[in-house]
Structure 1
Amino acid sequence: MKTVFVTVGTTSFDELIERITSSEVTQELKIRGYERLVLQVGRGSVLPAADSCSHVRLEAFRFKDSIAEDMRQADLVVSHAGAGSCLEALGAGKPLLVVVNDKLMDNHQLELARQLHMDNHLLYCTCSTLKETLRDMDLSVLQPFPPRQPKNFANFLDKALGVK
């Protein structure tokens, strides 16, 4: 069963939750072959009931100790533009659609999404363009995110501090 996993991290992004569960967006997901929608809604005020979503099977929760398994099972991850959530999805090797909250002032998240999009690691949109982005998306253009190399940072610190 093709699954979309949506995460807002530890924040609230009710507009994304409302939009992704709207009839027109779930219909677009169904057209694209997705049958299951799993939502991590964070501390938002919207927690949709399982039977509130047309076209796809819906599961929703606020928080878990880890969302790694949800990401692993997903065929597509839709995330808010937080760096932690983006890096977790990219590190899991999943196709990622980032939804930027354009209501935030001085939105540094947009810069991250744009750069990772320019590097062909993810797609991004806003809530108002979510349906069209899902309709037009081509996940085959996405490039795998390079694996983490924590040794590089440790070596940099050692050099900067004069340890090496």
Structure 2
Amino acid sequence: MGSRERRVVFVTVGTTCFDALVKAVDSEEVKEALLRKGYTDLLIQMGRGTYMPSKDSGNSTLQVDYFTFSPSIADYIREASLVISHAGSGSIFETLRLGKPLIVVVNEDLMDNHQSELAEELADRKHLFCARPQTLQETVESMDLNNLLPYMPGDANQVVSLINKFLGFPVD
């Protein structure tokens, strides 16, 4: 058992309160689905939430831990085998730039939720999976990481050149 490769699922809600996501990943059903997919550890960044996840993994052998905030989550993302994130653009693009498989969980309690549009568009382009708290188990069970396409950030040089030209700065 000691030689088993760690496969960490990192969950982040950013600086918000998204207890519905934390409760969903803390459910026995989602933990069991993650175990069946071969994950060994679950690390939850819970932000301003008040729901406290259980470190007792119940019937599963999934190792669970959590914390509220960190100055940077980049190292957690780098070490993760899978990231489950709220739909904040910073968390989404940081994860995609690091080439990590990503499930974005949309917070349906937000008014005028532009974040869901971003998540759904990137899911349509096959860069990530999109879920709601109540569909997270189903998404984990059905996800095939081989179907994801790498995200290639756009080249902003043309935009920078246009802005520089408009402002009268030298253009390379």
Verify same fold: TM over 0.5: yes
**Are 1:41 and 2:46 matched, yes or no?**
yes
TM-aligned CA distance change 1:156 to 1:12, over 3 Å:
farther
Match of 2:97 in 1: 91
Q: Quote the RMSD (CA, aligned, Å).
A: 1.7
Quote the offset at 1:50 in angstroms: 2.4
**Are 1:29 and 2:29 matched, yes or no?**
no
Q: Which amino acid aligns with 1:65?
A: P
TM-aligned CA distance change 1:156 to 1:143, over 3 Å:
farther
**Are 1:159 and 2:165 matched, yes or no?**
yes
Match of 1:68 in 2: 74
On the 8 A contact 1:90/1:145 being kept in 2, the answer is yes
Match of 2:55 in 1: 50
- Pick the aligned partner of 2:120 from 114, 123, 126: 114
Alignment of 1:9-28 (within 5 A): 9-28=14-33
Deviation per residue, 1:39-96 (Å, 9 max, x gap): 1111111232423665210110111111111101101000000101101100111001
- Pick the aligned partner of 2:8 from 3, 6, 20: 3
- Pick the aligned partner of 1:82 from 88, 97, 102: 88
Q: Unaligned 5+ residue runs, structure 2?
A: 1-5
Match of 2:3 in 1: none
Q: 4+ runs of 1 displaced by more than 6 Å? A: none
Indicate the structure (1 or 2) with the bigger Cα radius of gyration: 2
